[in-house]
Chain A
Amino acid sequence: MAKATITFEDINVTVTVPAGTRVIEVSEKVGSGITYGCREGDCGTCIMKVTSGWNHLTEPSVLEDKVLRENMAGKHNRLACQAQALGGDISVRPV
């Protein structure tokens, strides 16, 4: 199975994950500071900054885009409960 790495910059931890893994599946287990609310792409609590590897994540859906806009998310921000790693190296941190 294809692999990706997700680096959580706030805690200096890199995790190797199978392609298709959502950031939410890993971040709490390793103790990253990304915090969650609804966990289903609606509340915007888990907005994170993707500092590198943006193109190694799935495209945001129309609904995720809407939530990001409503929460005035900055450039290269994603919802950790929605973004899935496709492959390659990705770095994220809480905003």
Chain B
Amino acid sequence: MKQLELSDRQGHPKAVKLSERVHWIGALDPNLRTFDIILKTANGTTYNAYAIRGSEGIAVVDTVKEGFADDFFARLESIADYDEIKVIVLNHLEPDHTGALPELMRRAPGAQLYISQKAQSMLKALLKHERMSYTPVLTGDRVSLGDRNLEFLHTPYLHWPDTQCTYLPEENILFSGDVFGCHFCDNRLFNDRVGDFRFSFEYYYAHIMRPFKEYVVCALDLIEPLPISVIAPTHGPILHDRPERYIRRYRQLSGPSLESEISPQQKTLLIFYISSYGNTRRMAEAVYSGAMQVPDVRVSLYDLEGGEVEPFVDLIEEADGLIFGTPTINGDAVKPIWDLLSSLTVINIKTKLGGVFGSYGWTGEGVPLVEDRMRGLKMRVPIPGLRVKLIPTDEELDSCREFGFQIAQELMGLRKRKVLDMADLV
């Protein structure tokens, strides 16, 4: 297969053709191993940017990370003069795509910047010392380059509030920002030429897009009706060979991770516990039996000592309610509980029902600390946590059963609203 030429004979980076009028002008970063702290990459990434030539000017879609600006400008200069640039589009304002923006605006003073409505405050915060004029756009807005047009699709939270896609209808090319991207660096650039990037594609979705599944679905509703020949994302391979496969895969990934096992009127409640001397375990079993008394609640009990975090995350994503049982050791909840709680940022658990219980020896801080964490994750925690000093008595186990029963009742919407007077609050 013929090698793509990313540089000219003198070694200067040059643009790569997607079509007669559309070029890749991005940069390769093969040495990157960790992206955004949370993502690993075994062979680096690419910062993809594109130039589109219309009869009345050129548009640049996205830029690159600041340290890679030289490659970006060299590639841009290989196909365009700065005074031809009329339009700059930023689909996403994260610094790996805006690093070259201030310099590009200086070099192309005749260009107008287009960003999403939600990107406005971010632009100001990212480029604090730069004064830039810009036009905010939404779905349905378009900008003309003469015989080429750019249409904007508002696709927020993929994966920042500001994200959008830009569509070139004359060539059926979707400039998708981080959507359909991945951290995979291969100088052959196109999906039918590069090495096997399937794992990178899935891994990127799982860490970047999965927390925003509901927004992925909204974006797909906008994207799927479009005729698309090429998906041009900001990271990883350009998807020009059967791009519809990647759209279809996003649709699959945005559905439930596990097949539903319950009927529509049922709700699922998961109880996770860990126990050193069996006290929190006894509490967990009592909470479990109390919750089981409420019809249509499918209750499960898991000892964290016997499980890995990742399958539990999949279960939690589909669950309606979560209860954690933790002992307190040295004034804190225990590490397996925190390990699971800190792994929930890859899924959306907002508004799920939560509750906490646990046995303690001295002061019992573990329970309120986990409650605070649940609230921080935007879960609902309507029933105050339940703590028992050391070995639970029969009466205390009754309280645990009542705790489980109340949470299950709340889950089914059967609990009466509590009415209080402020004067009675401590």
A residues with CB within 8 A of B:
7, 10-18, 21, 25-26, 29-31, 33, 35, 69-70, 72, 94-95
Instruction: State which of B378, B410, B421, B422 has its C-beta within 8 Å of the C-beta of A94.
Output: B378
Which of A14, A16, A69, A72 is the one whose CB lies under 8 Å from B417? A14
**Could you list 7 further interchain pairs (A-B, Cβ under 8 angstroms) beyond the known A11-B380, A11-B381?**
A10-B380, A10-B382, A12-B410, A13-B418, A14-B417, A29-B425, A30-B420
A13 CA to B161 CA, complexed, in Å: 32
- With contacts A29-B425, A31-B381, A33-B379 taken as known, whether A7 is within 8 angstroms of B417 at the C-beta atoms is yes
Interface centre among A16, A18, A25, A69 (most CB of B within 10 A): A16
Q: Which B residues are CB-close (under 8 A) to A33?
A: 374-375, 378-381
**Is the CB–CB distance between B425 and A30 below 8 Å?**
yes
**Subset of 26 A-B contacts with CB under 8 Å:** A7-B417, A10-B382, A11-B381, A11-B382, A11-B418, A12-B382, A12-B410, A12-B418, A13-B418, A13-B419, A14-B419, A15-B420, A15-B421, A15-B425, A16-B419, A16-B422, A17-B422, A26-B422, A29-B426, A31-B371, A33-B378, A33-B380, A69-B121, A72-B121, A94-B375, A94-B378
> Closest residue of chain A to B353, judged by CB?
A10
Shortest C-beta distance, A9 to chain B (Å), equals 9
Chain B residues within 8 Å of A69, by CB: 121
Q: Which B262-301 residues have C-beta < 8 A from chain A?
A: none
Question: B378-422: which have CB < 8 Å to A?
Answer: 378-382, 384, 410, 415, 417-422
Q: Which residues of A contact B118 (CB under 8 A)?
A: 72
Cβ of B422 and Cβ of A35 under 8 Å apart?
no
Query: How far is B382's CA from A69's CA once the two chains are assembled, in angstroms?
Result: 30
Q: What residues on B are CB-neighbors of A7 within 8 Å? A: 417
Q: How far is the CA of A29 from the CA of B384 in the complex (A)?
A: 11
Chain A positions within 8 Å of B417 at CB level:
7, 12-14
Interface of B is mostly: mixed
Task: Rank and list the top 7 A-B pairs by shortest CB-CB distance, nearest first.
Answer: A11-B382, A33-B375, A10-B380, A29-B425, A17-B422, A13-B418, A14-B419
Residues of A within 8 A of B379 (CB): 33
* Closest chain A residue to B418, Cβ basis: A13
Q: Which residue of B lies closest to A11 (CB)?
A: B382
A31 cross-chain contacts in B, Cβ below 8 A: 371, 381-382, 384
Contacts of B375 in A (CB 8 A): 33, 35, 94
Residue pair B425, A13 in contact (C-beta under 8 Å)? no
Residue B376 at the chain A interface, CB threshold 8 Å: yes
- Closest partner residue, chain A, to B374 (CB atom): A33
Cβ-based interface call for B252 (8 A): no
How far, in Å, is B352 (CB) from chain A's closest CB? 11
Contact status A26-B425, CB under 8 Å: yes
Give the residues in chain A near B135, CB-CB below 8 Å.
Answer: none
> Does B425 lie within 8 Å of A16, measured CB to CB?
no
Given that A13-B417, A16-B421, A21-B422 are known contacts, is A35 also in contact with B376, CB under 8 Å in the complex?
yes
From 108 to 125 in chain B, residues with beta carbon under 8 angstroms from any chain A beta carbon are 118, 121
Contact residues in A for B31 (Cβ distance below 8 Å): none
Distance (whole angstroms) from the CB of B267 to the closest CB of chain A: 16
Q: What separation, in Å, do the CA atoms of A47 and B204 have in the docked complex?
A: 30
In the complex the two chains form, what is the Cα distance from A72 to B156 in whole Å?
Answer: 12
Chain A residues with CB below 8 A from B426, complex form: 29
- Give the distance in Å from the alpha carbon of A7 to the alpha carbon of B121 in the complex: 32
Residues of B within 8 A of A29 (CB): 425-426
Shortest beta-carbon distance from A91 to chain B in Å:
11
B139 within 8 A of A: no
Residues of B with C-beta under 8 A to A15: 419-422, 425
Min Cβ gap B284→A in Å is 22
CB distance from A46 to the nearest CB of B (A): 12
Question: Is B345 in the interface zone, CB < 8 Å from A?
Answer: no
Hey, which chain B residues are within 8 Å of A14, CB to CB? 417-420
Closest residue to A18 on the B side, CB-wise? B422
Judge if B34 is at the interface, Cβ distance under 8 Å.
no
- Separation in Å of the A25 CB from the closest CB of chain B? 8
Q: List which B38-64 residues lie within 8 A (CB) of chain A.
A: none
**A13 and B417 alpha carbons, distance in the complex (Å):** 6
The complex places the Cα of A25 from the Cα of B425 at a distance, in Å, of: 10
- Closest chain-A Cβ to B164's Cβ sits at a distance in Å of 14
Bound-state Cα–Cα, A81 to B270, Å: 33
User: Which B residues lie within 8 Å of A16 (CB)?
Assistant: 419-422
Would you call B351 an interface residue if the criterion is a C-beta within 8 Å of the partner chain's C-beta atoms? yes
How far is it, in angstroms, between the C-alpha of A31 and the C-alpha of B354 when the chains are bound? 12
Most chain A beta-carbon contacts within 10 A, residue among B374, B379, B418? B418
Nearest to B413 among chain A residues (CB) is A12
